[in-house]
Structure 1
Amino acid sequence: MSTSKYVQMILNGTITSLTTVIPVKLDVLPPTLTVQPYMQKELSVLIGLVGGIKGRLIIDTSQQGIDTIGQAMFGMSIEGEMIESFTGELGNMVAGNLCTILEKDGLHLDISPPTVMAGETKFFGFTQAFKLPVRLEDGTMLHVLLTMDEPA
C-alpha cells in the first residue's frame, strides 16, 4: 500500500477516533503539511505507532483544551497534577481507538506508552508531518500531528 494511502487512512481514522472519544462538538479543519521543528506552546502528548507503519501521533493543545474535554467527560475541572495525567490518558484513548478503527481496514498498529510534554517544546526528528487542526466548541484548538517514518 502506498504511503499516501496510509496517511489518508490514518487521518480519517484519527478524525473518527477524536469524535468518538471527545464528547464535545469538534470542527475539523483541513490538514496541512508542516516541517521540523514543530513548536509546541503549552501541552502535548506523543504516542509512538509501530506495525503496518512507523510514526508518531502527537496531540498538541492547552490546559484550557484539556479542561474543556475533562469537564465534558467527567463534569469537573482538570487541575494541578491531573492535567498531565489526563493529557496522557487522552492520548492513549485516541490512539487506542485509532488502532481499533484501522484494524478493521487491515492495518495493524501498536502504540507506545504516552509521553506528555509541558511548556514550550520544539519537536525534531521528522522530515514532514501532517497537521490536523481541530477546534473545540469553546474555540480552543487541538493540533494533531502525524509523522510517518517509513512503511513497514
Structure 2
Amino acid sequence: MSTSQHIQTILNGTIHSLKTIIPMNIDVKSPSIITEPYTQQEMGVLIGLIGDLKGRIIIDSTPEIFGAVGSSMFGMPLDGAMLESFTGELGNMIAGNLCTYAGQYELELDITPPTVMVGNTKLYGFQQAFNLPATIDGAGDISILYTIDEK
C-alpha cells in the first residue's frame, strides 16, 4: 500500500474515531497540508504512531473545548489535573480506535503513550503534516494534526 493510501486510511479512520468516541455532533472540514513549525496554542495531546507508517498525532484545542467534551462524556465538569488527564485519555481513545480501523485496511499501526501539552508550543521536525479541522457542536473547534516521518 502506498503512503498516500495510508494517509487516506488514517484520515478516514480519524473521522470514524471522532464520531465513535465523542458523543456530540462533529462537522469535519477538509484536510490541508501544512509546513513546520506548527504552533499549538493552548492545550493538546501528542501520540506517536509506529508500524507501517511512522509519525505523530497531535490533537489541539483549548481547555474549554476539551472540558466540554469531557463533561458530555462523563456528565461532570473537568478542570485542572483531571482535565489534563482526560485530554491524554481522549487522545488514547481516538488513536487506539484509529489503529483498530486501520488494521481492517491492512495498515498495521501502534501508538505510544500520550504526552499532554499545555501552553504555547511550537512543533518542528517533520517532513509533512496533514491538518484535519473539525467543529464539535456545543463545544467548539478542534484540530487533528498528523506528522509523517520518512521511513
Q: TM-score, normalised by structure 1?
A: 0.96
Matches within 5 A, 1:125-136: 125-136=125-136
Q: Which residue number corresponds to residue 24 of structure 2?
A: 24
Matches within 5 A, 1:29-68: 29-68=29-68
Q: Distance in 2 between matches of 1:84 and 1:92?
A: 13
Moved over 3 A (4+): none
Q: Distance in 1 between matches of 2:30 and 2:122?
A: 23
Q: Distance in 1 between matches of 2:102 and 2:9?
A: 7
Q: Which residue number corresponds to residue 9 of structure 1?
A: 9
Q: Which residue number corresponds to residue 73 of structure 1?
A: 73
Share of identical aligned residues, percent?
Answer: 54
For the aligned residue pairs, the C-alpha RMSD in angstroms reads: 1.0
Matched residue SS, 2:150: strand
**1:1-53 alpha-carbon deviations (Å, 9 max, x no partner):** 21111110100001101110011110100001111000011001011000111
Report the Cα offset of residue 67 of structure 1: 1.1
Report the Cα offset of residue 107 of structure 1: 0.9
Matched residue SS, 1:81: helix
Gaps of 5+ in 1: none
Moved more, 75-84 or 116-125: 75-84
TM-aligned CA distance change 1:84 to 1:59, over 3 Å: same
Matched residue SS, 1:33: strand
Whether contact under 8 Å (2:131, 2:143) holds in the other structure is yes
